[in-house]
Amino acid sequence: MQETADIAVIGGGIVGCATAYKLSCYFPDKKIVLIEKEKQLSAHQTGRNSGVIHSGIYYKPGSYKAINCVKGRRELVAFAKEHNIPHDVCGKIIVATNESELPQLNKVFQNGIANGVEGIEMIDSKRIKEIEPYCEGIQAIYVPCTGIIDFPAAARKMAELMEKKNNKNKILLDTEVIAIVQDSQQVTLKTNQGEVKAQYVVVCGGLQADRLAGKEVTKKKVAIVGFRGDYYDLTPEAQYKVKNLIYPVPNPQFPFLGVHFTRMIHGGIECGPNAVFVFKREGYSKTAFSWRDTLEAFSFKGTWKFFAKHWKFGIDEYRGAFSKGFFLKRLQKLIPSLTIDEIVPSRCGVRAMALDDEGNMLDDFKMEAYGRVLHVLNAPSPAATASLAYGDEIARTAIKELKIQTN
């Protein structure tokens, strides 16, 4: 294969698809190629998350995440309506089960107000029961604009629209980028299928973002570490215990929202996920292992510093991964009547978390331009919800930083 393009986008998750779509809107006359190493789009984080349209209530006011989640959510819902993507704006509750959680619950509520999240209200235990009869809590936030969606279907539609913008535009599946080589004139992408030559490149690599960026860009100060999330399903007989979405009050020290209950857009109720360090970035079982991924993770000093800071959290998460009883106890905090026979092991996903060399999690969106290439080094949750807003942000940054001519 010898392919040419004006702009190439690497990565066929929802952020890559949204970026390619937005670029095609800015540049309807330029040839855009979307490159994905798997045989289908959305094979990793996009296709393995819980399918929740987040409201924007959790995030620090003024952050990329806060601004783009609220903007992106509204755009995503409108997009889903226009293109018949399965979705349901069903609402959720964030539940405090003891007094110690109330200050953090109030902080989340104040963030929601500051971020312009519409319709949120603080509710009491009686109202909790009206919304979710089997949930026990002393206070909660009702978030009516949260929803559920088929994210892979949304990503496929974005890619399809990109292709239709220009009959030269292409989606290259089963095409893994092995090396990125650039000079002053163009970028050559060496792949397992041959070469793609492009004037400009945007990399939305997700779990492979740091590898695609290379040491020239990361300067050994940022690395991707994977965290696996394990899920359980409620048995059909127990699904009556959850109407829509029930979340705990999040631990402010971590960017994970805690195990929760989610009604899925295609049926069923999912419980989880936990957050367990993985020994294989794209390993979707509890024993998945890669020497390369493990050695790279442990040769990065930030990994060790992260473990030193959060060892107790890590031990608890591993207990949840291998003990159904321990996982159940976490779920029973919200629904005490749940029994061990009412949950069954289900799927898992791996989330890309960017760490700096001091062991801190990069909690916000991060891009880095290098020559003719723009690298998205970190697109943390709510990346799927915010995908259209992120895609626009990435496209506009590429135009500015890479000096893409708009005529």
| One domain for residues 156 and 245 | no
| One domain for residues 297 and 235 | yes
pLDDT per residue, tens digit, the chain (407 aa), is 899 999 999 999 999 999 999 999 999 999 999 999 999 999 999 999 989 999 999 999 999 899 999 999 999 999 999 999 999 999 999 999 999 999 999 999 999 999 999 999 999 999 999 999 999 999 999 999 999 999 999 999 999 999 999 999 999 999 999 999 999 999 999 999 999 999 999 999 999 999 999 988 988 889 999 999 999 999 999 999 999 999 999 987 765 678 999 999 999 999 988 888 899 999 999 889 999 999 999 999 999 999 888 767 667 677 766 789 999 999 999 999 999 999 999 999 999 999 999 999 888 889 999 999 999 999 988 999 999 999 999 999 999 999 998 76
| One domain for residues 192 and 331 | no
| One domain for residues 288 and 333 | yes
pLDDT of residue 255: 58
Q: Is residue 20 in a domain?
A: yes
SS (H, E, C) the chain: CEEEEEEEEECCCHHHHHHHHHHHHHCCCCCEEEECCCCCCCCCCHHHCCCEECCCCCCCCCCHHHHHHHHHHHHHHHHHHHHCCCEECCCEEEEECCHHHHHHHHHHHHHHHHCCCCCCEEEEHHHHHHHCCCCCCCEEEEECCCEEECHHHHHHHHHHHHHHHCCCCEEECCCCEEEEEECCCCEEEEECCEEEEEEEEEECCHHHHHHHHCHHHHCCCEEEEEEEEEEEEECHHHHHHCCCEEEECCCCCCCCCCCEEEECCCCCEEEECCCEECECCCCCCCCCECHHHHHHHHHCHHHHHHHHHHHHHHHHHHHHHHCHHHHHHHHHCCCCCCCHHHEEEEEEEEEEEEEECCCCECCCCEEEEECCEEEEEECCCCCCCCHHHHHHHHHHHHHHHCCCCCC
pLDDT per position as a tens digit, 352-381: 999 999 999 888 889 999 999 999 999 988
Q: Is residue 101 in a domain?
A: no
Report CA dihedral (46, 48, 52, 58) to the nearest 10 degrees: -80
| One domain for residues 201 and 299 | no
| One domain for residues 370 and 349 | no
* CATH assignment at residue 324: 3.30.9
Q: Is residue 367 in a domain?
A: yes
Give how many domains the chain has, as a whole number: 2
pLDDT per position as a tens digit, 86-135: 999 999 999 999 999 999 999 999 999 999 999 999 999 999 999 999 99
| One domain for residues 30 and 175 | yes
Q: Is residue 200 in a domain?
A: yes
Q: Is residue 210 in a domain?
A: yes
| One domain for residues 227 and 300 | yes
| One domain for residues 266 and 317 | yes
Are 247 and 94 contacting, i.e. CB atoms less than 8 angstroms apart? yes
| One domain for residues 163 and 291 | no
* CATH assignment at residue 383: 3.50.50.60
| One domain for residues 293 and 384 | no
| CA end-to-end distance (rounded Å), the chain | 29
pLDDT of residue 406: 74
Q: Is residue 85 in a domain?
A: no
Q: Which domain holds residue 189?
A: 2-46+152-216+363-401
Q: Is residue 118 in a domain?
A: no
pLDDT of residue 53: 98
**Exposed e or buried b per residue across 195-212, where buried means at least 16 C-beta atoms within 10 angstroms of its C-beta:** ebebbbbbbbbbbbbbbb
| One domain for residues 203 and 244 | no
List phi, psi (to 5°) of 134.
Answer: -95, 0
pLDDT of residue 1: 84
